[in-house]
Amino acid sequence: MPALRDELRVDFCIVNGENAADGRGITAKIAEKLLASGADVVTLGNWAWGQQGFAPYLSGTDRVLRPANMSAASPGVGFTVRDGVAVINLLGELTLNPFESAFAVADRLVEEARRETPVVLVDFHAEATSEKVALAYYLDGRVTAVLGTHTHVQTNDARVLPGGTAAITDAGMTGPHDSVIGSVPEGAIRRFVTGMPVRLEPATGGVRIEGALVECDRDGRALSCEAVRVPVGE
């Protein structure tokens, strides 16, 4: 990551760490490794509690975020400001069942964030393409970027909306792409063919880093947004 930050001239880096632990959630050790590698903030998603014993770690950090529209009684926070950049982590409603609406929580947190900085980035971890696009338009002109995550498939719609908000429906997956969204194909196929539960194993081939690169001005208005895809080990 340090070399990639230099190459792309990145001032601030957000890593969605969902499923970094063998495809299910994240551990404190992996979170710390991502931060040490050059991530400024790590965001999560619906598998925030996927690894046993991880929840207490979130109570002691504002650099690893769980979705802000999970219950306020759960450990951790979903919003932080670091080095002049506000980061908000939100969870979509379709199939993911957050505690509150992402749209309502976004209204509250964006207003709070803009009191501290004009540069506001939203990681919207959601299943439905329509919901991700709708939130981007809803926040257009109020935030610097709305970056979709969760579906593991990078979309070809990186753009800047009319109000100056960068958007991409899904930033993609960092991991093995010779796979079914990161898992060995045989297990995923068996699950679809038989309808029976099958333990999915992480694949290993075709590893690449995917994400989105956003440039903005001092007022937090996005100037450009482009998808990033970097093969690893080739």
Q: Are strands 79-82 and 85-91 parallel, antiparallel or unpaired?
A: antiparallel
* Mean pLDDT, rounded, for 129-142: 97
Rounded Cα distance between 184 and 124, Å, is 26
CATH of the domain at 119: 3.60.21.10
Q: In the Cβ-directed half-sphere of 109, how many Cα atoms lie within 13 Å?
A: 27
Rounded Cα distance between 78 and 80, Å, is 7
Residue in this structure with the two tokens 């709305």, named with its chain if needed: 146
What is the residue range of 114's domain? 2-231
Tally of domains in the chain: 1
* Mean pLDDT, rounded, for 5-33: 93
Q: Token digits for 46? A: 């619906």
Q: Token digits for 104? A: 């309502």
| pLDDT tens, residue by residue, 170-224 | 999 999 999 998 889 999 999 999 999 998 888 999 999 999 999 999 999 999 9
